[in-house]
A and B are shown apart, each in its own frame.
Chain A
């Protein structure tokens, strides 16, 4: 078990972000995936040795999104404002899926406040060999099934989702569409700027990912100067839930190694 989690709010970029937070020490800023914010086992594990800060993206959950905030690029600037507002330095930025895409868009803009970047099956760059399937055409059942390698976990997760407030579920879907409807779940410009990422970068991918296919690691690996890949066999997309136990120590070792090694 990790440290007790508390919920806070942060005012930034004309909006209020709900935030989950636990632990103490160097900051891990965790950006959640398409289904919405939740306190996954990975965050719990990391909170033992780190201060984990997990904001909910603008427009998700019960949060508002300013009218003008239309793209993942806008959200990236919003989080850069957050780092500034809280005066966070040497941050370990971790993003999963949609959150990985946002994290990459943050890092290409400015890594001044970052110590490292960990991208867990990030969306954002599509591979020609493995185009994304249409996440918006999936039923709730298919959405759940595709997240996990283990079908039992998928069923548990879907049951838990069904317990959530329908308003929150619909709001999450709407917020996702606003940011990622077209082009679906990626930004064709992003690949051309990945070379700007100058902090140690860890790519973590499930080899059986059916949301953001494993082959999508190639453009990230190729373009980011100091990127290292951890390929997890027998793993799906929901890494922070399904592979928390393997990933947490890998991340901690990576954070340790990245300390003060900024290029």
Chain B
């Protein structure tokens, strides 16, 4: 199994009492809550943490894109990736991902990724997302065009990477008379594409199709939902006439290692609760702008209490649901190895910094994980090939 360190770069100094006056950490939380002096320090700290992961031997480091939120300070993730491209040596740099429908020029995304590919010596992994519902409030992009723009932008970017230009592209949402990428990307035929999602079956099927075989990355889900998505991926692969491998699947999960189970649970508790209850806090109307999802998936979201977050999450029930792994190195090893076996997943995207988790605990977490968990997960892959899921 390959291990990645995923950083969201939250505004860790967020005044958590903001919920007394505001109903969202996204879009409408006044940016008077952001102190620029703190911001400068946080960027330096977070980039340092990603660089440390490179030195500690992680297979990759990951960044992502969100807008107008304390949840993450990377509205332009490629800027961070560019800094990392020059300051890291061996780790893959995964941008998970750019929110395609939000941009008016997808060719610019193809260009930026191609540049990053050269700057990093072919170490980038690209990611394409639609952005969450709130981004449509932040960007003004019409959510009813979200799917259409996503698929068109994706097609345009892939063609820009792989076809000899100049060529003409006239879609419904994007029109270009000249597409002719300078530079072409370094990796052939193009940089790997990973697709993060919370398990929409439409997305899983799209990734798994033999035409794409994109790595599918499950984020923030109970282990049960992750299993369902991964099983679907394998079924679609089989239906499409090929056998998918664990390397086509990834699982992103907040992970915390400490000296003992007891210490780990005590140390991570306030931060993981802040993450789910304060940083991932927004009204339903912003989570689900009209047209962002199909009527059917909107209905199933409304019906699912989990998505609604009706209840305050506690560290205990998050661990129980398999949405967080925390414990001693032995416990975390065992847990992750079991998940890897059961889920048949080949990429672990460990979120080792989360919400308010401070620098010292983040560094401890990174070092313990790298020393006492990572080598074991790697070995396990060599000794025990992942079983294929039972077919449906």
What residues make up the interface of A, taking CB atoms closer than 8 Å to B? 67, 134, 136-139, 166-167, 170-171, 173-174, 176-178, 181-182
Contacts and interface: CB of A to CB of B under 8 A. Distances in A.
Nearest to A140: B285
Nearest to A138: B285
Contact of A174 (B140, B284, B295): B295
A178 B137 CA distance: 14
Interface of B: 28, 136-137, 140-144, 172, 283-286, 289-291, 295, 298-299, 302
A170 B142 contact: no
Contacts of B136: 181
B285 A177 contact: no
A181 B144 contact: yes
B217 to A, nearest CB: 28
Given A136-B290, A137-B285, A181 B299 contact: no
Nearest to A65: B144
Given A167-B295, A177-B290, A181-B289, 20 more contacts: A134-B137, A136-B137, A136-B285, A137-B285, A137-B286, A139-B284, A139-B285, A167-B299, A173-B291, A174-B144, A174-B295, A177-B142, A177-B143, A177-B289, A177-B291, A178-B291, A181-B136, A181-B140, A182-B140, A182-B142
Contact of A170 (B28, B286, B298): B298
B137 A137 contact: yes
A181 B172 CA distance: 18
Contacts of B295: 167, 170-171, 174
Given A166-B299, A181-B142, A181-B143, A174 B285 contact: no
A173 B136 CA distance: 15
Contacts of B143: 177, 181
Contacts of A177: 142-144, 289-291
Contacts of A138: 285
B299 A178 contact: no
Interface secondary structure of B, over-half rule: helix
Contacts, number: 49
A166 B298 CA distance: 10
A138 B289 CA distance: 11
B308 to A, nearest CB: 13
B152 to A, nearest CB: 13
Contacts of B286: 137
Given A171-B295, A173-B290, A174-B291, A139 B283 contact: yes
A107 to B, nearest CB: 25
Nearest to A172: B290
A137 B283 contact: yes
A178 B142 contact: yes
Contacts of B290: 136, 170, 173-174, 176-177
A106 B386 CA distance: 63
Nearest to B136: A181
Contacts of A176: 290
13 contacts: A136-B289, A137-B28, A137-B137, A137-B285, A167-B299, A170-B290, A170-B298, A171-B295, A173-B290, A177-B142, A177-B289, A181-B144, A182-B140
B230 to A, nearest CB: 29
A177 to B, nearest CB: 4
Q: Which of B142, B290, B298 gathers most chain A CB within 10 Å?
A: B290
A134 B141 CA distance: 14
B13 to A, nearest CB: 27
A182 B285 contact: no
Contacts of B142: 177-178, 181-182
A186 to B, nearest CB: 13
Given A166-B299, A167-B295, A174-B295, A182 B289 contact: no
A139 B287 CA distance: 12
B141 A178 contact: no
A140 to B, nearest CB: 9
A174 B144 CA distance: 7
A63 to B, nearest CB: 13
A67 B144 CA distance: 11
A173 B141 CA distance: 16
Contacts of A182: 140-142
Contacts of B302: 166
A182 B136 CA distance: 10
A170 B136 CA distance: 17
A170 B299 contact: yes
Contacts of A166: 299, 302
Contacts of A139: 283-285
A178 B141 CA distance: 11
Q: Which 9 A-B pairs have the closest CB atoms?
A: A173-B290, A177-B290, A181-B142, A178-B144, A174-B291, A174-B290, A182-B140, A170-B295, A177-B144
A178 B136 CA distance: 13
Contacts of A167: 295, 299
B34 to A, nearest CB: 21
Contacts of A67: 172
Contacts of B285: 136-139
Q: Which of A137, A138, A167 gathers most chain B CB within 10 Å?
A: A137
B133 to A, nearest CB: 10
A67 B147 CA distance: 13
A122 B291 CA distance: 24
Nearest to B286: A137
A162 to B, nearest CB: 13
Q: Which of A136, A171, A176 gathers most chain B CB within 10 Å?
A: A136
A67 B299 CA distance: 23
A139 B302 CA distance: 13
Nearest to B143: A177
Q: Which of A67, A138, A139, A170 gathers most chain B CB within 10 Å?
A: A170
